[in-house]
Amino acid sequence: MLELTREIQRLKQERNAVILAHNYQLEEVQKVADYVGDSFYLSKLAANSQHDVIVFCGVRFMAETAKIVSPTKIVLLPEKDAGCPLAEMITGQGLRILKSQHPGVPVVCYINSSAEVKAESDICCTSANAVKIVASLPDRKVIFVPDENLGDYVAKQVSDKELILWKGHCVTHAKVQPKDVNQVRELYPTAKILIHPECNPAVAALADFVGSTSEIIRYAQLSEESTFVIGTEMGVVCTLKETMPNKQFFLLHPGLVCPNMKKTRLESVYRALQDQQYEIHVESEYALRAQLTLQRMLEVV
Ligand code: 13P
């Protein structure tokens, strides 16, 4: 492990590479990364990167986003099958049909989407800025794709808007049910329950706080409380335990494990740098329009 870490550091220098890792990555991967964070933070870093190579430890749409905002860079996804079922729940064609049913209505797409869907959208958002992005639009009606749960959460925060939602969801967050929250309330009555907005609305309604992965981490850091139950992927719990050993963290549901995020190992990061794999390419047909959609997000927030 130490040997592998040393090799990764050496190759990183040699290739002038930066390693970005999402909060859901394995601890061994987070430890070797230059930056760890949520989708929004990592997309900003990718857009401003001065490196020749970006190794994106996450899932495909994240690496694709990095390539869209930094088209001259070599972007590598260490595990080529690390996908996102939520992003795959909508196609460009599906979105075009929805748009044709609501002519003139602007489209906000969650960053968990393909380059084609981004190209068909007006502005992108992440879970950390979705409310702000939707609120920034002058229109009353807004199409929001593909995460129905995040869309519902946003709609409740911007009640003057009417959101037209797509029926997509994160299969990992969807496992959590209200009864799970009620159970942990009984078990840990003083604990704060922090939940990701990809959980279903009945679950989010029972939370003490709803926010992106980084917002959940920040909440726990700033809080005076000592016990927290975390309603998002288990990678966040690892970070919390590691960085705040004097506080207690519990995972809300044992199924909160994203199998795609867990595909990337230290070994994968090494091979990515060594063999320059797997390089991300974005079809030229979508690249420019998808870039505009992402740039609009980066300008608003
Ligand atoms: P973040 O916006 O917190 O990075 O969440 C991304 C994600 O895919 C959650 O499942």
Ligand 1 pocket check for 149: Cβ under 6 Å? no
Share of the chain above pLDDT 90, in %: 99
Domain limits, CATH 3.40.50.10800, in the chain: 2-83+261-282, 87-170+285-300, 173-251
Per-residue confidence (pLDDT) for residue 301, from 0 to 100: 83
For the stretch 8-21, pLDDT in tens is 999 999 999 999 99
Determine the distance separating the centroid of ligand 1 and the alpha carbon of 265, expressed in angstroms: 19
- Write 146-150 long-range contacts (CB < 8 A, 24+): 146/86, 146/87, 146/89, 146/90, 146/109, 146/110, 146/112, 146/113, 146/117, 147/86, 147/110, 147/112, 147/198, 149/173, 149/174, 149/197, 149/198, 149/199, 149/200, 149/201, 149/204, 150/110, 150/197, 150/198
* CA 38 – ligand 1 centroid, Å: 6
- The tokens of 138 are what? 């002058």
Fold of 87-170+285-300: Rossmann fold (3.40.50)
Regarding the beta carbon of 65 and ligand 1, being less than 6 Å apart is answered no
User: pLDDT value at position 251?
Assistant: 98
Centroid of ligand 1 to alpha carbon of 137 (angstroms): 22
128 CB within 6 A, ligand 1: yes
pLDDT tens string 193-219 = 999 999 999 999 999 999 999 999 999
The atom of ligand 1 lying closest to the CA of 59 is 8
With H, G, I as helix, E, B as strand and everything else as coil, classify residue 69.
Answer: helix
Query: What predicted TM-score, i.e. pTM, was given to this entire model?
Result: 0.96
Query: Ligand 1 in contact with 126 (CB < 6 A)?
Result: yes
pLDDT tens sequence across 49-99: 999 999 999 999 999 999 999 999 999 999 999 999 999 999 999 999 999
Average pLDDT, the chain: 97
Q: Which fold has domain 2-83+261-282?
A: Rossmann fold (3.40.50)
Q: Residue 141: left if φ>0, alpha if ψ -120 to 50, beta else—which one?
A: beta
Give the model's confidence band at 2: pLDDT under 50 very low, under 70 low, under 90 confident, else very high. Answer: confident
1: pLDDT strictly greater than 90? no
pLDDT tens digits along 149-200: 999 999 999 999 999 999 999 999 999 999 999 999 999 999 999 999 999 9
Q: Which atom of ligand 1 is nearest to the CA of 22?
A: 4
Give yes or no for residue 170 CB within 6 A of ligand 1: yes
Domain 173-251 has CATH 3.40.50.10800: yes
- Would you say the CB of residue 25 lies under 6 angstroms from ligand 1? no
